[in-house]
């Protein structure tokens, strides 16, 4: 949803959502994790870490979609200076990072 609305990402990332529906969703997420063996304080930290990771990734994508890439000095594929660090797009690492976070959370389960 955030990737589809890049202009909304800075607003979403800088203003906490405190609606009753948002709070209920957070409560359900913490309850879900607690029921699977995570202490409530760890469950809260996990949901915040996932939120921050997701919003941070969305902000990077939004910057590209809103024109930052045109100003970038990143070399184009096949030109001098283009290297392995340029070969992976911004969208391609989200799943890897998410999987690493989820796998790492297992150590906090009771």
- For residue 44, being part of any structural domain is answered with yes
- For residue 30, being part of any structural domain is answered with yes
- For residue 60, being part of any structural domain is answered with yes
What does pTM read for this prediction? Answer: 0.75
Computed over every residue of the chain, the mean pLDDT equals 85
Task: Note down the domain range covering 56.
Answer: 6-108
End-to-end CA, the chain: 33
Q: Which two tokens stand for residue 12?
A: 């979403």
Alpha carbon distance 36, 12 (integer Å): 29
Best CA proximity match to 58, nearest among 90, 96, 26, 95? 90
- For residue 1, being part of any structural domain is answered with no
- For residue 42, being part of any structural domain is answered with yes
The predicted model gives 30-34 an average pLDDT of 96
User: Binning pLDDT at 50, 70 and 90, where does residue 21 land?
Assistant: very high
Q: How far is CA 18 from CA 10, 21, 87, in A?
A: 17, 8, 39
- For residue 78, being part of any structural domain is answered with yes
- For residue 63, being part of any structural domain is answered with yes
Lowest mean pLDDT across 4-8, 28-32, 71-75: 71-75
CB 27 within 8 A of CB 37: no
Number of compact structural domains in the chain: 1
More confident residue, 6 or 28: 28
Predicted pLDDT at 86 = 65
- For residue 37, being part of any structural domain is answered with yes
Predicted pLDDT at 15 = 84
* Per-residue pLDDT tens digits for 44-73: 999 999 999 999 988 888 887 777 555 566
């Amino acid at each position: 949803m955030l990737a589809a609305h890049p202009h909304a990402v800075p607003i979403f990332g800088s203003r906490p959502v405190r609606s009753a529906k948002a709070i209920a969703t957070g409560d359900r997420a913490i309850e879900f994790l607690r029921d699977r063996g995570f202490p409530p304080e760890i469950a809260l930290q996990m949901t915040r870490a996932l939120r921050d990771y997701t919003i941070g990734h969305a902000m990077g994508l939004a910057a590209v979609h809103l024109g930052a890439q045109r100003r970038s000095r990143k070399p184009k594929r096949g030109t001098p200076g283009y290297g392995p660090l340029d070969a992976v797009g911004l969208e391609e690492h989200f799943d890897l990072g998410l999987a690493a976070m989820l796998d790492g959370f297992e150590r906090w389960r009771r």
